[in-house]
Structure 1
């Protein structure tokens, strides 16, 4: 039985019948923690819903709910505890990669799982990766774990995220391959090193960050992975590709190949997308 149907069955005597269809049907589970979004009408029943999830699921030991949008350049989620264990620190495993993090204070999107798999497939042995928005290693650590890379540069501005990044580098035995940097990526100190450079931030990197990312690519060629949110209309994607291509040209470089992937839907109007460009001098 699907989890939503199980929830409805368990709660049919506890909730008004008109609210049963509003119960969440899909939500991320990070380690043992479920992160759910509740319709406003369900707010008074949040604790009950959380307790029921813990009761009916073998995996879920803690339930949290979103209370607002992720805030600021440090990307702090707005989340509160509903039920189960109050300890927000979890251990999560994905693509043979271990992540420890505080789900109440850091963002980690299981909706990006497919993108992490795509990066693993694109990266080749002995390559160098540059992740300018590393957080706790969400996007690129799996590529480093599942390939015999040369080096991975990882920069992060959020002190808590950087703490967990160091933990995760150690957990995954990447101490000799990872170069973690704490600070503002506007000050990233190296150029001409990356076979892959990742700009994984929403709604989008700023122009200076884009320039730094392009210049971090190897002169002989490398892949720029540019993440943003964009309207679903095809013309908006064409406009994005045109604008980023123009920026590459302004820096005296050339785009050889372009691909465009949808990472996940954000709303009825917007998608989280990644524009990939192979750029050479």
Structure 2
């Protein structure tokens, strides 16, 4: 797909860009819903309009083309996205039959976590779930649609992400299964009377500061914590597990590593993983 895109883009811009500019053209793109996001070399930023127009003609189901201008920033992981062609940066992305409405200029959507979003529903059986960093509903929507949770408490402190979380719960028709909560999970989760059979802690860097809350709200008999983090190629998973085990001991909880899920390569020799940890 990438080689075909690059070839077609070069052909479309031949005679419009010079030979040096042609060499700097991207080999691929990211598409979220009907919006294409491009990473362009700095040398091509002044040619972004003609490149965006060519991309829109090449890529199917494309209503807008945006330029990624830098790394995410702020505690809410806000993207640096510029709309180059099109009318809006808001879209609806469909994945595994689940609909995710969001604004790509305000909310990050990690397409690389697609398998993790698919995996969770297979694990859930009539459980109470706390989704600590819910975002627009990355994990909880799929669980609510494809599994049979007793109830999901979805915590989100970013008001913009929370707005889309509420909308996504409605458009996916899972209002009876998910209760959205605006605020910091570290304090809001402590207000819930029910205890969690499963806690999803899907955030990078690893949310160590939320572990004390997790151990206070889990089902005292048995529960699972999904804890995400980064590991070097040479690191054993126990290195990441130690974060959880140390806090667990403070609350007289035993932890056992049940499974290590490779999510994606984060950078050379560093991997994004999720630990499935049994707590009792």
Please report the TM-score for the alignment, with normalisation by the length of structure 2. 0.91
1:120-135 aligned within 5 A: 120-124=121-125, 126-135=126-135
Could you tell me whether the CA contact under 8 Å between 2:257 and 2:275 is conserved in 1? no
Residue-pair matches, total:
276
Contact 1:191 1:215 in 2 (8 A): no
What corresponds to 1:252 in structure 2? 252
Provide closer, same or farther for how the CA distance between residues 221 and 17 of structure 1 changes in structure 2, counting only shifts above 3 A.
Answer: farther
1:222 aligns with 2:217: no
- Unaligned ranges ≥5, structure 1: none
SS at match of 2:71: strand
Residue 100 of structure 1 is matched in structure 2 by 101
Residues in 1 aligned to 2:274 and 2:194: alpha-carbon distance in whole angstroms: 22
8 Å CA contact retained: 1:192, 1:215? no
Provide, for residues 81-130 of structure 1, a one-character-per-residue CA deviation record: whole Å limited to 9, x for no partner.
122x2311111111121111111101111111111011122222x12221
The alpha-carbon deviation at position 269 of structure 1 amounts to: 4.3
Shift of 1:19: 4.1
Partner of 2:69: 67
In 1, distance between residues paired with 2:222 and 2:115? 25
- Greater displacement, 246-255 / 54-63: 246-255
Q: What CA distance in whole angstroms lies between the structure 1 residues aligned with 2:262 and 2:26? A: 23
Query: CA offsets, 1:187-232, max 9 Å, x none?
Result: 122376222211111122132x12212333212212211122x243
Tell me the CA shift for residue 47 of structure 1: 2.0
Give the TM-score, by structure 1 length: 0.90
1:1-80 to 2 correspondences below 5 Å: 2-80=4-82
**Structure 2, unpaired ranges of 5+:** none
Cα distance per residue 1:111-168 (max 9 Å; x no partner): 11111011122222x1222111111101221111111221110011111111111111
Tell me which stretches of 4 or more aligned residues in structure 1 moved more than 6 Å. none
Relative to 1, partners in 2 of residues 1:221 and 1:4: Cα closer, same or farther, differing over 3 Å?
A: farther
Q: Does the CA-based 8 Å contact 1:214-1:224 persist in structure 2? A: no
Q: 3-state SS of the aligned residue for 1:213?
A: helix
Q: What's the C-alpha RMSD, in Å, of the aligned pairs?
A: 2.0
